[in-house]
Structure 1
Amino acid sequence: MLSPVIAGVDGSAEGLAAAEWAAREAVRRNRPLHLLHVWDRHSHGHHSTPASTAQRYPARRALREAEDRVRRACPGVRLGAAEQVEGPATAALLRAAERAELLVLGSRGLTGLAAPLVGSVALGVVARSPRPVVLVRKGEQAEDEHVLADDGTPSTGTGTGYRDVLLGIDLADARDEVIEFAFEEAASRPARLRVVHAWQPPSALGLGPGDIGLAGDPARAEEWQQILSAALKVWRDKYPQTEVLETVVKGRASSALVRAASAASLLVVGRRLRERPTLAHIGPVTHAVAHHAGCPLAVVPHR
């Protein structure tokens, strides 16, 4: 049986946007879509009794609303049985991720700095999930994945192509799982893949004996460009139909990716799987783009 795309829904606008995005992704991947709602009896003061009607009704309502939204927006999706599971939410979503092809969650972006859902759930799942997780903002729609029509109006793709899939890559730690995910996303749309590596010049204090500290920025940029091209060559050969734009920029990776994400349909970054998964850590770049990127964010775990 094919692993499903799973969308976590909670009745919020972010959850509905995540369900719609997940439906489109399930169609692109030829996978079923499962909708999942997590409820926590402890948040309602019921510590030992079975789930009450007051708890189950909001769950059924959230799932029904998401189902209706998905069927209207993406009638071709194969929608599996909706699920209600008991929380805590982070643990329940991590269990779901283990059987998912992809887990999709709503994200409140910058406002999540003060929002328990994003702080303790969505980012907690991203930090520990063994499978890729996509975070989707409120208001994300199908036309946001596409370039504008000739007259400047939004388009759902009839006659226009997809916006770039954006891959943020650290050439000091480039991983096949992350690169392959980005190429697959670009090929499935189809879209151009834009690969961005950000570099910063070494400080004089960081130079060791024999290190060359006099090379100018153009020379360093050219060297990074050559390294990036070499790292992507095997993937270009594997995906010959995918147009690839390689970009090296001087500066902070998070700033470069947030700027580029404004014109992208999806941003892909990697996250190292830790030997102690109880430590919730996603790294400063992923944390920054999770709050500030203007497109859906895919976080792909790797060893």
Structure 2
Amino acid sequence: MDKPVIVGVDGSDPSLRALDWATDEAALHGLPLCVVHSQAWGWYEGYGPTFTTDRSALRVYGENVVGSAVERAGRRAAAVKAYGELVIEDPAAVLTRMSREAFAVVVGGLGAGGIAGLPLGSVSLAVAARAQSPVIVVRGDERHLRRAFGRIAVGIDEPEQARRAVEFALREAESHGAVLDAVHAWRCPAREAADHPDHRSDVERHRALAEGALAAALRPAARVEGVVEVRPQVVEGHARKALLDAALASDLLVVGAHRRKSHLGMQLGPVNHAVLHQAACPVAVVPHT
């Protein structure tokens, strides 16, 4: 059986937008859609059916969330085989576990019931930091959610770590008939020093290294040459700004998962955090391995 697209739902508007995105993705790739709701979601994010501690009432609520989500997916794409799973374990833990056998995990981009001051939910952030499949955090306005730009952007860091992100971005661009912008940011320390002399040779050397790194990372693009238009973009400056700028006119921003262990567990790097919290479009976080 093909690996499913898995979407986490909690009944909120952000999760319904994630459901619609996941349904379209499943339909495009001819994949099943698994709709997951955890009875623990309300306590995890700080909202939901807090009116009672009655397990039967919580189960009825969860069944309604799953049932209505599956029905919504069926109305949106009748050809998609959609099914639901109601679980009681920690939602981030279950989505992370299910990611081992998923094409992708899709989650909403707002936390605490969609309150504007909380731009990313704790479940979404935890899953993006730990999942083994790509995680798509659905955020952005209606133009981005309906893929109005016909562009996908992929952020390139180290070529040897970018392979999976590039391959995922190429597959999405090919499937959606979109242009792929490959963005690699570079900096010249000498130019940034307040009292530096005119180190033009250093600038050119750093630019050449960046162009070489981007070319190496885009070698997988050879297989879709003539099918996907790939536009390399070497940008001087901080990676965070380069990617956020690219997201403004993109339908999807793809980044590699820069993960690190801390006393709090697996954490994402600062650039990943920035794009997940601030990007104007949906963001796909793709594990390196």
TM over 0.5: same fold?
A: yes
Aligned to 1:37: 37
Deviations 1:247-272 (A, max 9, x none): 01111111111111111111100114
Aligned to 1:150: none
Unmatched runs of 5 consecutive residues or more in structure 2: 44-49
Cα distance in 2 for residues equivalent to 1:289 and 1:250: 18
Structure 1 residue 200 corresponds to structure 2 residue 187: yes
The change in CA–CA distance for 1:142 and 1:216 in structure 2 (over 3 A counts) is closer
The change in CA–CA distance for 1:223 and 1:100 in structure 2 (over 3 A counts) is closer
Structure 1 residue 184 corresponds to structure 2 residue 171: yes
One of 243, 249, 258 as aligned partner of 2:235: 249
Question: What TM-score results when the alignment is normalised by the length of structure 2?
Answer: 0.84
Structure 1 residue 137 corresponds to structure 2 residue 139: yes
Unmatched runs of 5 consecutive residues or more in structure 1: 148-162, 207-211
One of 152, 155, 166 as aligned partner of 2:153: 166
Aligned to 2:57: 54
Aligned to 1:154: none
Secondary structure, in 3 states, of the residue corresponding to 2:287?
strand
**Percent pairwise identity:** 35
Secondary structure, in 3 states, of the residue corresponding to 1:263?
coil
* One-letter amino acid of the counterpart of residue 97, structure 2: R
Aligned to 1:155: none
Cα distance in 2 for residues equivalent to 1:92 and 1:257: 30
Structure 1 residue 289 corresponds to structure 2 residue 275: yes
The change in CA–CA distance for 1:113 and 1:282 in structure 2 (over 3 A counts) is farther
Cα distance in 2 for residues equivalent to 1:252 and 1:73: 40
Aligned to 1:70: 73
Task: Report 1:1-303 matches (<5 A).
Answer: 1-40=1-40, 43=43, 52-79=55-82, 81-108=83-110, 115=118, 118-137=120-139, 140=142, 144-147=146-149, 163-171=150-158, 174-203=161-190, 214-215=200-201, 217=203, 220-232=206-218, 234-240=219-225, 241-272=227-258, 279-303=265-289
Secondary structure, in 3 states, of the residue corresponding to 2:267?
coil
Contact 2:4 2:103 in 1 (8 A): yes
Report the Cα offset of residue 67 of structure 1.
2.2
Contact 2:259 2:269 in 1 (8 A): no
Deviations 1:79-138 (A, max 9, x none): 1x21100122211221221221110000118977964x9443110111111111100127
How many aligned residue pairs are there?
A: 276
Contact 2:140 2:280 in 1 (8 A): no
Secondary structure, in 3 states, of the residue corresponding to 1:87?
coil
Query: 179-188 or 58-67, which moves further after superposition?
Result: 58-67
Cα distance in 2 for residues equivalent to 1:105 and 1:298: 10
Question: What TM-score results when the alignment is normalised by the length of structure 1?
Answer: 0.80
Contact 2:154 2:181 in 1 (8 A): yes
Report the Cα offset of residue 229 of structure 1.
2.4
Contact 1:135 1:290 in 2 (8 A): yes
What RMSD in Å do the two structures reach over aligned CA positions?
3.1
Secondary structure, in 3 states, of the residue corresponding to 1:281?
strand
